[in-house]
Amino acid sequence: MKLSNMRILSYFIILIIVWGCKSSPKEEVANAPWGQMEQIISSIRPPVFSDRVYNVTDFGAVGNGVADCLPAITAAVKKCNTEGGGTVEVPPGQYACNGPIHLKSNVNLHVSEGATILFSTTPEHYLPVVFTRWEGAECMNYSPLIYAFEQENIAITGGGVLDGQANATNWWSWVDKEEYGWQEGMPSQKDSLSRPRLFDWNTREVPVEERILGKGAYLRPNFIQPYRCQNVLIDSVTILNSPMWVIHPVLSENVTIRNVKVISHGPNSDGCDPESCRNVLIKNCYFDTGDDCIALKSGRNQDGRRIGRPIENVVVQGCLMKDGHGGVVIGSEVSGGARNIFAEDCQMDSPNLDRAIRVKTNKVRGGTIKNLYFRNIRVGEVGEAVVRVNMRYPIYSDTSQAFIPVVRNIFVENVQSSKSKYGLLIDGYSQEHPVKSVHITNCRFDGVEKGNSIEFAEGLKLEDFYLNGAMVSNPVIDQ
């Protein structure tokens, strides 16, 4: 039986209404990445621990700031692990620790409010060497101050303090800079970098077990390093005075870092450097650092390419960045690539913070950096640029190899800044290898001294972008 004309008309009207209620393709494309962010967040679940509690004082720890509590902490961690897991409790007090804490699976190291762990600054206390990374190159070096290797369900929690006690009289003087205590004739990390040591081993792909450093190499350890770990939580602790990078998860998955306060003004004191990790949430943290606040990495040169693990599915939310070289940074050790990076609702404000959003790489690093999303960021003042993309970052290590990187799909939305030297500072590699598809939407950069500087960029799109109160629509790009 045929439908009446009236019924056919009714069907058409219903179809039109349904079609009109759908988002336009443009809206779907625009909203899809942030929907992906929500999916990433929902997939990251902090580890859960048994109710068992192992108080370190029951194992002999004395919180007088003098007695070495490492044996007690080590014994508590071991017993907690062998009995199925739980919490290793550090109660209020000052706990000297003459060496590294090595975490085991299913252990939550809980540093209570009022408790401080004071880590030794004697290098020999961090031997024997362990499998680690130093600026993106794999090696056998001093143990990080808190270290876990191939463990799962681990945590560092509590309202207490972790103090590396690094300063210009110990670890920091290994950098060949007088401002950090080094003087002519003193050993420095250059003894292991500029000579045919670590970076040369990396270039020649020397087996990692033969890259033995440690004593006499002068390469400072990182503070916290979960290496090849699953289900990691770092929550609510304050971390002070690191020898080098502060929080450095490597090749780990399902990592949550939240409510953490980092204050460390030494050389290379990056606040949080997830490297070759997947599914990482960094939320409500405070960074006051001597280098990048958050830097996302994936291995240096040959090691990054050999292992081939990008840094991916990272969400940064609600963080406050004070001093540092960059607020949210991708690179420079990013040879394994970076993708699906999201940052929102952050605040950055200091004349000592050089850049708010930064990508840094070069022809030696290589790798593909793509799908970077930033929104709702407030910048008071930065020293150089609000948004800095550099494919010609200086090359400090030796190699004639060329692996020109790919940088594309950067989206910056609703970012406001009050003072900077540049608004956008973009340096593609060349006309043949430009930065591709940078989108700046609904942004206002005021107090910009020198305007924008853009070289070798393709597909740059500006919408509702105001520089010193004037709308910018068609930038002149040097080719």
Over residues 385-397, the pLDDT tens digits come to: 999 999 999 887 6
Nearest-angstrom CA–CA distance, 228 and 225: 10
- pLDDT at residue number 17: 40
pLDDT value at position 473?
80
pTM of the model: 0.92
| pLDDT for 194 | 58
Q: Quote the pLDDT of residue 351.
A: 87
407-444 pLDDT, tens digit per residue, is 999 999 999 999 999 999 999 999 999 999 999 999 99
Q: With a cut of 50, which residues of the chain have pLDDT below it? A: 1-3, 6, 8-9, 11-30, 479
Domains contained in the chain, CATH given:
45-258 (2.160.20.10), 292-479 (2.160.20.10)
Token digits of residue 191: 């003894």
Asked if residues 382 and 420 have their Cβ atoms less than 8 Å apart, the reply is yes
Long-range CB contacts (within 8 A, 24+) of 269-273 = 269/242, 269/244, 269/245, 270/244, 270/245, 270/246, 270/294, 270/295, 271/246, 271/247, 271/324, 272/246, 272/247, 272/248, 273/245, 273/246, 273/247, 273/248, 273/297
Residues in a beta bridge with 240: 163, 263
pLDDT of residue 191: 76
Active site residues: 291, 325
Vertex 350: Cα angle to 349 and 353 (nearest 5): 100
